[in-house]
Amino acid sequence: MIKNIIFDLGNVLLRFKPEEFLLQFTSDKEYIKQFVPKITRSKLWLDLDRGLESLENAEIIFISKYPEEKELISLFFNHWMEMLTPIEENINILLDLSKSGYKTYILSNYIKEAFIFVKEKFDFFTIFDGQIISGEEKVIKPDKVIYESLLRRYQLIPEESLFIDDILFFLKPAKKLGISTIWNRPHTDLRKELKKFNVVI
Ligand SMILES: [Mg+2]
Protein backbone atom coordinates (compact mmCIF):
# COMPACT_ATOMS: atom_id res chain seq x y z
CA MET A 1 0.00 0.00 0.00
CA ILE A 2 1.29 3.44 -0.95
CA LYS A 3 1.67 5.79 2.02
CA ASN A 4 4.30 8.25 0.82
CA ILE A 5 4.10 10.48 -2.24
CA ILE A 6 7.37 12.05 -3.37
CA PHE A 7 7.30 15.05 -5.70
CA ASP A 8 9.86 16.54 -8.02
CA LEU A 9 9.51 20.35 -8.14
CA GLY A 10 10.39 21.58 -11.65
CA ASN A 11 7.51 21.00 -14.08
CA VAL A 12 5.64 18.91 -11.52
CA LEU A 13 4.72 21.51 -8.87
CA LEU A 14 6.48 24.61 -10.20
CA ARG A 15 6.86 25.69 -13.81
CA PHE A 16 10.30 25.86 -15.38
CA LYS A 17 9.90 27.04 -18.99
CA PRO A 18 12.88 29.27 -19.87
CA GLU A 19 11.99 29.47 -23.58
CA GLU A 20 8.48 30.80 -22.88
CA PHE A 21 9.76 33.07 -20.14
CA LEU A 22 12.38 34.75 -22.34
CA LEU A 23 9.75 35.78 -24.89
CA GLN A 24 9.05 38.82 -22.72
CA PHE A 25 12.57 40.09 -23.42
CA THR A 26 12.94 39.18 -27.09
CA SER A 27 10.60 37.97 -29.77
CA ASP A 28 13.51 36.29 -31.56
CA LYS A 29 12.62 32.64 -31.04
CA GLU A 30 15.70 31.39 -32.87
CA TYR A 31 17.92 33.37 -30.51
CA ILE A 32 16.10 31.98 -27.49
CA LYS A 33 16.42 28.48 -28.88
CA GLN A 34 20.20 28.71 -29.04
CA PHE A 35 20.51 30.72 -25.81
CA VAL A 36 18.62 28.53 -23.34
CA PRO A 37 20.64 25.29 -23.72
CA LYS A 38 23.87 27.24 -23.26
CA ILE A 39 22.63 28.29 -19.82
CA THR A 40 20.26 25.70 -18.37
CA ARG A 41 21.83 22.65 -20.01
CA SER A 42 25.40 23.60 -19.16
CA LYS A 43 27.78 21.96 -16.73
CA LEU A 44 27.72 25.19 -14.75
CA TRP A 45 23.94 24.94 -14.30
CA LEU A 46 24.45 21.40 -13.00
CA ASP A 47 27.01 22.82 -10.56
CA LEU A 48 24.33 25.27 -9.40
CA ASP A 49 21.96 22.33 -8.92
CA ARG A 50 24.71 20.57 -6.98
CA GLY A 51 25.23 23.57 -4.74
CA LEU A 52 28.84 23.89 -5.89
CA GLU A 53 28.42 27.35 -7.40
CA SER A 54 26.47 30.51 -6.51
CA LEU A 55 24.07 32.23 -8.90
CA GLU A 56 26.05 35.43 -8.57
CA ASN A 57 29.26 33.74 -9.72
CA ALA A 58 27.47 31.80 -12.42
CA GLU A 59 26.21 35.00 -14.01
CA ILE A 60 29.75 36.40 -14.08
CA ILE A 61 31.12 33.18 -15.57
CA PHE A 62 28.43 33.02 -18.26
CA ILE A 63 29.04 36.66 -19.23
CA SER A 64 32.78 36.09 -19.51
CA LYS A 65 32.11 33.04 -21.67
CA TYR A 66 29.53 34.71 -23.91
CA PRO A 67 30.29 38.47 -23.68
CA GLU A 68 28.23 39.25 -26.80
CA GLU A 69 25.15 37.89 -24.98
CA LYS A 70 25.68 39.89 -21.81
CA GLU A 71 22.35 41.67 -22.04
CA LEU A 72 20.14 38.59 -22.15
CA ILE A 73 22.29 36.77 -19.60
CA SER A 74 21.83 39.64 -17.13
CA LEU A 75 18.10 39.81 -17.80
CA PHE A 76 17.84 36.06 -17.35
CA PHE A 77 19.73 36.05 -14.05
CA ASN A 78 17.83 39.04 -12.70
CA HIS A 79 14.41 37.62 -13.50
CA TRP A 80 14.46 33.85 -13.99
CA MET A 81 12.92 32.99 -10.61
CA GLU A 82 9.75 34.82 -11.70
CA MET A 83 8.98 31.91 -14.00
CA LEU A 84 8.83 29.51 -11.04
CA THR A 85 5.06 29.64 -10.66
CA PRO A 86 2.80 26.97 -9.14
CA ILE A 87 1.13 24.37 -11.34
CA GLU A 88 -2.21 24.74 -9.61
CA GLU A 89 -3.86 21.44 -10.53
CA ASN A 90 -0.93 19.51 -9.09
CA ILE A 91 -0.74 21.71 -5.99
CA ASN A 92 -4.40 20.84 -5.39
CA ILE A 93 -3.54 17.16 -5.66
CA LEU A 94 -0.75 17.69 -3.13
CA LEU A 95 -3.21 19.37 -0.73
CA ASP A 96 -5.74 16.54 -1.18
CA LEU A 97 -3.09 13.89 -0.59
CA SER A 98 -2.03 15.55 2.62
CA LYS A 99 -5.66 15.89 3.79
CA SER A 100 -6.23 12.20 3.01
CA GLY A 101 -3.38 11.24 5.33
CA TYR A 102 -0.59 10.57 2.85
CA LYS A 103 2.90 11.70 3.76
CA THR A 104 4.38 14.01 1.14
CA TYR A 105 8.01 14.70 0.30
CA ILE A 106 10.12 16.64 -2.17
CA LEU A 107 12.99 15.05 -4.08
CA SER A 108 14.27 17.65 -6.49
CA ASN A 109 17.27 18.97 -8.33
CA TYR A 110 16.93 22.62 -7.36
CA ILE A 111 19.31 25.52 -6.98
CA LYS A 112 19.70 26.41 -3.31
CA GLU A 113 18.91 30.13 -3.71
CA ALA A 114 15.88 29.34 -5.86
CA PHE A 115 14.57 26.90 -3.27
CA ILE A 116 14.86 29.52 -0.51
CA PHE A 117 12.99 31.94 -2.79
CA VAL A 118 10.07 29.65 -3.68
CA LYS A 119 9.78 28.26 -0.16
CA GLU A 120 9.27 31.75 1.17
CA LYS A 121 6.92 32.77 -1.62
CA PHE A 122 4.48 29.84 -1.72
CA ASP A 123 2.46 28.53 1.23
CA PHE A 124 2.22 24.95 -0.02
CA PHE A 125 5.76 24.25 1.14
CA THR A 126 4.53 23.99 4.74
CA ILE A 127 2.63 20.82 3.82
CA PHE A 128 5.56 18.53 3.17
CA ASP A 129 6.74 15.97 5.69
CA GLY A 130 10.28 16.20 4.36
CA GLN A 131 12.48 17.33 1.53
CA ILE A 132 15.71 16.52 -0.24
CA ILE A 133 16.99 19.39 -2.37
CA SER A 134 20.06 18.79 -4.53
CA GLY A 135 21.56 22.24 -3.87
CA GLU A 136 21.52 21.52 -0.15
CA GLU A 137 22.63 17.88 -0.39
CA LYS A 138 25.43 18.51 -2.92
CA VAL A 139 24.23 15.58 -5.02
CA ILE A 140 21.83 15.52 -7.96
CA LYS A 141 19.41 13.08 -9.52
CA PRO A 142 19.98 10.56 -11.10
CA ASP A 143 22.75 9.72 -8.59
CA LYS A 144 21.24 6.93 -6.49
CA VAL A 145 22.75 8.48 -3.36
CA ILE A 146 20.09 11.23 -3.35
CA TYR A 147 17.24 8.69 -3.53
CA GLU A 148 18.82 6.63 -0.75
CA SER A 149 19.21 9.77 1.37
CA LEU A 150 15.48 10.42 1.12
CA LEU A 151 14.58 6.84 2.13
CA ARG A 152 17.05 6.82 5.00
CA ARG A 153 16.37 10.28 6.38
CA TYR A 154 12.61 9.83 6.57
CA GLN A 155 12.65 6.06 7.18
CA LEU A 156 10.56 5.41 4.09
CA ILE A 157 9.82 1.90 2.89
CA PRO A 158 10.31 1.88 -0.91
CA GLU A 159 7.28 -0.37 -1.52
CA GLU A 160 5.08 2.18 0.30
CA SER A 161 6.46 5.10 -1.72
CA LEU A 162 5.58 6.64 -5.06
CA PHE A 163 7.76 9.17 -6.90
CA ILE A 164 6.49 11.67 -9.49
CA ASP A 165 8.93 13.32 -11.92
CA ASP A 166 8.65 14.90 -15.39
CA ILE A 167 11.98 13.39 -16.50
CA LEU A 168 11.87 9.67 -17.23
CA PHE A 169 15.61 9.34 -16.66
CA PHE A 170 15.14 10.42 -13.03
CA LEU A 171 12.55 7.74 -12.33
CA LYS A 172 14.88 4.84 -13.10
CA PRO A 173 17.01 4.92 -9.93
CA ALA A 174 13.83 5.17 -7.84
CA LYS A 175 12.37 2.14 -9.59
CA LYS A 176 15.58 0.20 -8.98
CA LEU A 177 15.19 0.85 -5.26
CA GLY A 178 11.63 -0.50 -5.35
CA ILE A 179 9.82 2.84 -5.36
CA SER A 180 6.74 3.11 -7.61
CA THR A 181 6.89 5.89 -10.19
CA ILE A 182 4.72 8.18 -12.29
CA TRP A 183 6.14 9.96 -15.32
CA ASN A 184 4.41 13.34 -15.29
CA ARG A 185 4.30 14.50 -18.89
CA PRO A 186 2.64 17.79 -19.92
CA HIS A 187 -0.72 16.13 -20.50
CA THR A 188 -0.64 13.56 -17.72
CA ASP A 189 -3.82 13.31 -15.67
CA LEU A 190 -2.08 12.94 -12.34
CA ARG A 191 -5.25 12.06 -10.41
CA LYS A 192 -5.96 9.23 -12.82
CA GLU A 193 -2.37 7.97 -12.60
CA LEU A 194 -2.48 8.02 -8.80
CA LYS A 195 -5.68 5.95 -8.87
CA LYS A 196 -3.81 3.20 -10.70
CA PHE A 197 -1.72 2.81 -7.53
CA ASN A 198 -4.88 2.77 -5.38
CA VAL A 199 -4.03 6.18 -3.99
CA VAL A 200 -7.42 7.46 -2.81
CA ILE A 201 -7.92 11.24 -2.59
MG1 LIG B 1 11.42 18.35 -13.03
* Residue 74 per-residue DSSP state: H
Instruction: Compute, in angstroms, the gap from residue 16 CA to the centroid of ligand 1.
Output: 8
Q: What is the pTM of this model?
A: 0.96
Q: What percent of the chain has pLDDT over 90?
A: 100
Instruction: Compute, in angstroms, the gap from residue 68 CA to the centroid of ligand 1.
Output: 30
Tens of pLDDT, residues 162-199: 999 999 999 999 999 999 999 999 999 999 999 999 99
Instruction: Compute, in angstroms, the gap from residue 7 CA to the centroid of ligand 1.
Output: 9
Which of the following CATH numbers is that of domain 4-15+85-195: 3.40.50.1000, 2.130.10.10, 2.70.150.10, 3.30.390.30? 3.40.50.1000
The pair phi, psi for residue 86, each rounded to 5°, is -65, 140
Instruction: Compute, in angstroms, the gap from residue 163 CA to the centroid of ligand 1.
Output: 12
| DSSP-assigned letters across all residues of 54-72 | -HHHHHHHHHHHSGGGHHH
| DSSP-assigned letters across all residues of 180-197 | EEEE--TT--HHHHHHTT
Instruction: Compute, in angstroms, the gap from residue 164 CA to the centroid of ligand 1.
Output: 9
Number of Cβ atoms within 10 Å of the Cβ of 3: 14
Instruction: Compute, in angstroms, the gap from residue 12 CA to the centroid of ligand 1.
Output: 6
In 3D space, the residue among 46, 27, 36, 38 whose CA is nearest the CA of residue 66 turns out to be 38
Quick one: the chain helix, strand, coil %, rounded to 5?
A: 55, 15, 30
Tens of pLDDT, residues 93-136: 999 999 999 999 999 999 999 999 999 999 999 999 999 999 99
Domain assignments of the chain as residue spans, ordered by start:
4-15+85-195, 18-83
